[in-house]
Amino acid sequence: MTRLDGQDTDAIARRLAGIAIEAGQVLQRMENALLDQRIKADGTPTSAADLAAEDVIVARLTEAWPGIPVVAEETASDVAPDDYFFLVDPLDGTGDFLTGTGEYSVNIALIRQARPIAAVVAAPGMGAVWIAGESAQAGRIPDEPGSDIAWHGIAVRQAPEHGLVALVSRRHGDHETERCLSSLSIGTRRTTSSALKFCLIASGEADIYVRCGPTMEWDTAAGDHILCCAGGRVVGPGGLALTYGHRERDYRNGPFAALGDVALAPRLALPVSN
C-alpha cells in the first residue's frame, strides 16, 4: 500500500486537480449528448456521464496511489474506508449538468482519520478549479490539456454586520434551513449549485451556506477542506466539524453550515439529526 505520511498535501491537491480536470473533459464531451438517466434509490439522478467520469477518476487514483481505497458515489457500497481513503463525487450537480446550466463540479478529497487533508473542486462548465492541501488556491482550467495552471491564493472575508450573502440551492430547500437563515441578517440570497457554494465562500464572494436536508459525504468533503484552508469553517450541530468515512450510515451527512466568518457560528441553531 502507498504510504502518504509526511507527503506534501499541496502537491497531492495539484495532482488531484489534474485528475478532476481530465474527468471534467469527459463530462464536457457528453454534456450535449442524449444520455440515459435514472433515479437512484436515494431519489437523486444519475447518468452515463456520472459513471464515465467516475471510471476515469478511480483509474487515475488507483494508478497514482495504489492500495488507497476510493469511496466514490456510484460504487460507494463496494469499498470500505481506511485510515486514508478518497471520497469522490464524479458529477456533483447532475440535474444542472442535464439541464445545461454549467453549474456542476467534480469533487475529490483525500481523507485521513475522518478529516480531509487534500482536495479539489473542478467546475469544467465554468472553467474554474479550486484546490487545498495546506493552503487554498484557485485557478482557471487551461484551454490546452496539460498546460500549467496559474494558481493564486484565496481567503474568506469578514462577514458584514448586516446584509450577509447566503448561498442557496436551486433544487433543494427545507423548512429547517429557512429557520436557520432567518436568525441571521441575510441581505442577498444567491442561487448556486453543487460544491461551488463552498468555493465561493472560500473565495470571499459570499458568507454562508446552510443545509439541513440530506447530503452525502462526497458532496461536502472537498469543499469543506477548501473552505477551512481559506480561513472558514464547516460546522454541524453544536459547532462540531464534520467527519467522514461513516459507512455505517451510508455516508450520509447531518445538518451543517459552511461559514466564511467563524464568528457567525454561535448565531446558528442547527437541528440535531435523528
In order, the DSSP letters of 26-91 are HHHHHTTS---EEE-TTS-EEEHHHHHHHHHHHHHHHHHSTT--EEEGGGGGG----SEEEEEEEE
Domain endpoint, select from 132, 153, 174: 153
The pLDDT assigned to 173 comes to 59
Q: How confident is the model at residue 37 (pLDDT cuts 50, 70, 90)?
A: low
Distance in angstroms (rounded) separating the CA atoms of residues 2 and 265: 38
Which stretch, 140-144, 214-218, 231-235, 267-271, has highest mean pLDDT? 231-235
Indicate whether 133 belongs to any domain.
yes
Residue 195's domain comprises 164-267
Query: What pTM was estimated for this model as a whole?
Result: 0.91
The pLDDT assigned to 42 comes to 53
The pLDDT assigned to 52 comes to 92
Q: At what angle do helices 48-64 and 9-30 cross, to 10 degrees?
A: 150
CB 272 within 8 A of CB 237: yes
The pLDDT assigned to 242 comes to 96
Indicate whether 81 belongs to any domain.
yes
Say how far residue 111 (Cα) sits from the centre of its chain.
13
Percentage above 70 pLDDT, the chain: 91
The pLDDT assigned to 195 comes to 92
**Same domain, residue pair 127 and 105:** yes
Q: Is the dihedral of CA 19, 60, 27, 202 positive or negative?
A: negative
CB 50 within 8 A of CB 107: no
Whole-number average pLDDT of the chain? 89
**Same domain, residue pair 74 and 206:** no
Q: What is the CATH number of the domain that holds 105?
A: 3.30.540.10
Q: Name the residue among 239, 193, 208, 262 with its Cα closest to residue 44.
A: 193
Indicate whether 158 belongs to any domain.
no
> Is 46 a residue whose pLDDT tops 80?
no
Indicate whether 3 belongs to any domain.
no
**Span of 19-33, 138-152, 161-175, 248-262 with lowest mean pLDDT:** 161-175
Residues 6+ apart with CB under 8 A from 227: 136, 156, 198, 199, 201, 202, 233, 234, 258, 260
**Same domain, residue pair 141 and 183:** no
Beta-strand runs (E) in the chain: 37-39, 45-47, 70-72, 84-92, 105-112, 115-123, 128-132, 136-140, 152-153, 164-168, 186-191, 208-211, 233-235, 256-259
Distance in angstroms (rounded) separating the CA atoms of residues 62 and 247: 21
Indicate whether 39 belongs to any domain.
yes
Q: Name the residue among 93, 47, 35, 117 with its Cα closest to residue 216.
A: 93
> Is 170 a residue whose pLDDT tops 60?
yes
The CA-CA-CA angle for residues 265, 137, 255, to 5°, reads 30
**Same domain, residue pair 235 and 188:** yes
Tally of structural domains, the chain: 2
Indicate whether 237 belongs to any domain.
yes
> Is 132 a residue whose pLDDT tops 90?
yes
Indicate whether 272 belongs to any domain.
no
Domain endpoint, select from 95, 122, 153: 153
Indicate whether 1 belongs to any domain.
no
> Is 98 a residue whose pLDDT tops 90?
no
**Same domain, residue pair 23 and 46:** yes
Domain endpoint, select from 153, 179, 211: 153
Cell of 104: 456542476
Distance in angstroms (rounded) separating the CA atoms of residues 64 and 62: 6
HSE-CB for 140 with a 13 A CA cutoff: 4
